Chain A
Amino acid sequence: MVEEAFARLHEALLNADEEAAVKATRDLLDAGAEPQAILERGLTEAMTELGRRWNRGEAFLPEVVAAAEIFKTCSDLVEPALLARGGKKAGHLVLMGTVKGDLHDLGKNIVTAMLKTAGFEVSDLGRDVPTERFVEEAARLRPKIVGLSALLTTTMLEQRTVIQALEAVGLRPDVRVMVGGAPVTAAWAEEIGADGYAANAVEAVEVALRLAGAAAQDAGGRKADG
């Protein structure tokens, strides 16, 4: 029964079938499956498989993005049980948003979906996100990575503002900041002191994996020091 429901959940995500995915998740919870396993074996593995298919040209953005949304719905269902058992969410947390004054979020949504296929947990603040909100959420959620999207040459300046604000409250050493968006370049990322830049969603995943790895090492280093 449990195995069969895992298989259903996997299929449902690959087919971007929300109803089936929600039902399979509920069935797994009812059957007493480990919440951690539902997240990792069920949801994350399916997203990873979808990412592989996308890389091979067998899956397309509408399916990946829809699956990422379903992933969020299902992981919300699992969360209470997970927290009750003292578990933690799978994967590194990325805080993501389009900066203040910028109403574009298609690129950010694609990157969000792709990060989920790579096993990241993403908290998406949406678009036109005020700097203070990035800072508050970073303080509350303690993400490994903050992702800042900007599609306009005017709004890309806000990426620097957010980085400066994170520095001002002392959060900057604990998070890696990656920036992206049509007008953004590697040179700009360097100029404003971001840790990573990606030109497209695939690259964003690579950069995030690299930054997350570095962040984990840093954490290990600090522990050893302390």
Chain B
Amino acid sequence: MGEPQVFELLSDSEIEAVHNAALAVLSETGVFIDHPRALEHLAGCGAEVDAASGRVRIPPRLVKEALAACPSSFILYDREGREALRLGAREVHFATSSCAVRCQEGTAARPSRAEDLVRLTRVADALPEIDLVSTQVVADEAPKELADSYRLYLVLRNSPKPVVTGAFSEEGLWDMKALLDAVTGGRTEDRPCAVFDVCPSPPLKWTAISAANIMDAASAGLPVEFASMPMPGAATPVTLAGSVVVHTAETLSGIVLAQTVRPGTRVVWGGAPVGFDMRHGTAPLSAVEATMITVAYAQMGRHYGLPTHTYAGLSDSKLVDAQAGLETALSGTVAALARIDIIAGAGALDFVGTQSLEKLVVDAEVCGLIRRLLRGIEVSPDTLARDLITALGPGGDYLAQAHTRRWFRTELHLPGPVIDRLDRKAWEEQGRTDILARARERVEAILKNDPRAPDPDRAAELDRAMRRVMDTRGCPSLPFVGAAEG
């Protein structure tokens, strides 16, 4: 296998052009930050700050220094402190999608509940194709003040895989840090098992919460994943190049804030690009332009030597149907060929607003196919098999050969039971199932197994930490959080 090929849409000179445009935007136009603490801090670092308007103009020098301070790669650990994956190594990892507020039930969607997040997490945990679990849905039962920490609690309770999450308030980030410290025994900083998504508000704005989250995550040693959301023709220029400039400028401004608070903060060059449908005013994540923006900004991220992330391998369909399949497979494949470090999307429908357990297991099959594709073709004397071809001659049967037994498990990807490969007669006899029915069966089979909970001591620590958050926020009880002892 040669060097992995990377699918690109920008030439080197075009990367340079985007870079220069973004630097000009940052130094001349600047970004708006809705947080006095951030403004004061950046002014102290040499940015040109207009406190009254909240406008921050960032000189190229600051950007350069901030980029130089970023680690080009870092390790994410699992809940138990074991090395799980390295970001920035041009290896593709799949994550479930986050942020949804609804769950699919049949053809309808209803508000998501704690039980849904538990089930989604348990299913994602059982799928080997999924590397990171996300706080996929909010629990409708939880008060707003602790909806973010409660999401994280439920995920940490049910899967050891690294977590993609994010805070909903300034305090929320500290609550979440406390949960992570509890479950990892205080190793949150040297063995991080979670990355925190922080989103600018396009174009070129940072809310008070986002700005605070960046600064606090940096000071707490938590990895930050920037998720700028270009929306061509609505929140960013309709031209894809212009949208990439805004994405670059927004993300660089976030990096400056993080690295000036604490140089060396682990950051991921991420994004959540969307399209903008000029008929319906909707923001489809599966628009092919959104995927193209992803490919281009991933080139920018790699140009800066940073790990990358995107939302892809998901669908805007309202059903687990053919549209869901084609959108998921296309954007997932393209993002993977662009060698994005974290591709988040499994389970998502409906502009990432709705999660489906069935779609999650279907999407894992897409991830499996993509993984095989990325492994490429191994060429060696044994794989060329010239001797074998000669020995068998015309009409040879390769099935019974030791060569076949030696290689078939690695060379041939075997999809799971969700993908139909039966002959028609067998398929008919087995009930003429469609993919949704088979996915439902797989979900049910997975949920029969016990979740991978933390060991009892850590679980008790985690419960205590969650109850402290609940006490502070005046919330007496929540599903799945055990009653206080004594």
Chain B residues with Cβ under 8 A from A127's Cβ? 395
User: Cα distance A148–B408 when bound, in Å?
Assistant: 29
Q: Interface residues of A, CB < 8 Å — how many?
A: 20
Q: Which of A180-208 contact B (CB under 8 A)?
A: 199-200, 202-203
Chain B residues with Cβ under 8 A from A63's Cβ? 405
Q: Which of B386-432 contact A (CB under 8 A)?
A: 395, 397, 399-402, 404-405, 408, 417, 423-426
Chain A residues with Cβ under 8 A from B404's Cβ? 62
User: Cα distance A200–B430 when bound, in Å?
Assistant: 14
Contact A199–B399 (Cβ < 8 Å):
no
Q: Nearest chain-B residue to A105 (Cβ)?
A: B397
Contact B400–A66 (Cβ < 8 Å):
yes
- Neighbour of A62 across the interface among B395, B408, B424, B425, CB < 8 A: B408
Contact B399–A103 (Cβ < 8 Å):
no
Contact B397–A66 (Cβ < 8 Å):
no
Q: Which of A105-123 contact B (CB under 8 A)?
A: 105-106, 109-110
A65 interfacial by beta-carbon distance below 8 Å: yes
- Neighbour of A106 across the interface among B397, B401, B402, B426, CB < 8 A: B397
CB-CB contacts of B306-332 with A at 8 A, as 1s and 0s? Answer: 000000000000000000000000000
Q: Nearest chain-A residue to B429 (Cβ)?
A: A203
Contact A109–B399 (Cβ < 8 Å):
yes
Q: How far is the CB of B243 from chain A (nearest CB, A)?
A: 46
User: Cα distance A139–B5 when bound, in Å?
Assistant: 62
Q: Nearest chain-A residue to B395 (Cβ)?
A: A103
- Neighbour of A200 across the interface among B402, B405, B423, CB < 8 A: B423
CB-CB contacts of A41-77 with B at 8 A, as 1s and 0s? Answer: 0000000000000000100111101101100000000
Chain A residues with Cβ under 8 A from B401's Cβ? 62, 66
Chain B residues with Cβ under 8 A from A16's Cβ? 402, 405
The DSSP consensus for interface residues of chain A is: helix
Q: Nearest chain-B residue to A65 (Cβ)?
A: B400
CB-CB contacts of B274-300 with A at 8 A, as 1s and 0s? Answer: 000000000000000000000000000
User: Cα distance A110–B423 when bound, in Å?
Assistant: 15
Chain B residues with Cβ under 8 A from A203's Cβ? 425-426
Q: Nearest chain-A residue to B406 (Cβ)?
A: A62
- Neighbour of B426 across the interface among A61, A66, A105, A199, CB < 8 A: A199
Contact B395–A106 (Cβ < 8 Å):
no
CB-CB contacts of A108-147 with B at 8 A, as 1s and 0s? Answer: 0110000000000000000100000000000000000000
Contact of A65 with B399 at beta-carbon distance under 8 Å, contacts A16-B405, A60-B408 already known: yes
Contact B399–A106 (Cβ < 8 Å):
yes
Contact A110–B399 (Cβ < 8 Å):
yes
Chain B residues with Cβ under 8 A from A62's Cβ? 399-401, 404-405, 408
User: Cα distance A68–B399 when bound, in Å?
Assistant: 12
User: Cα distance A63–B406 when bound, in Å?
Assistant: 10
Q: Which of A156-198 contact B (CB under 8 A)?
A: none
Chain A residues with Cβ under 8 A from B399's Cβ? 61-62, 65, 106, 109-110
User: Cα distance A154–B399 when bound, in Å?
Assistant: 25
User: Cα distance A66–B406 when bound, in Å?
Assistant: 12
- Neighbour of A66 across the interface among B395, B402, B425, CB < 8 A: B402
User: Cα distance A19–B1 when bound, in Å?
Assistant: 33
Chain A residues with Cβ under 8 A from B426's Cβ? 199-200, 202-203
Chain A residues with Cβ under 8 A from B408's Cβ? 60, 62
Contact A200–B425 (Cβ < 8 Å):
yes
User: Cα distance A110–B399 when bound, in Å?
Assistant: 9
What are 18 A-to-B residue pairs whose CB atoms are below 8 Å?
Answer: A16-B405, A57-B417, A60-B408, A62-B399, A62-B401, A63-B405, A66-B400, A66-B401, A66-B405, A69-B400, A103-B395, A106-B397, A109-B397, A109-B399, A109-B400, A199-B423, A200-B426, A202-B426
9 other contacts beyond A62-B401, A105-B397, A109-B400, with CB at 8 A cut-off?
A16-B402, A62-B408, A65-B399, A103-B395, A106-B397, A109-B397, A109-B399, A200-B423, A200-B426
Interface of A toward B, CB cutoff 8 Å: 16, 57, 60-63, 65-66, 68-69, 103, 105-106, 109-110, 127, 199-200, 202-203
**Which 7 residue pairs across A and B have the least CB separation, nearest first?**
A199-B425, A65-B400, A62-B404, A62-B405, A66-B400, A65-B399, A200-B423
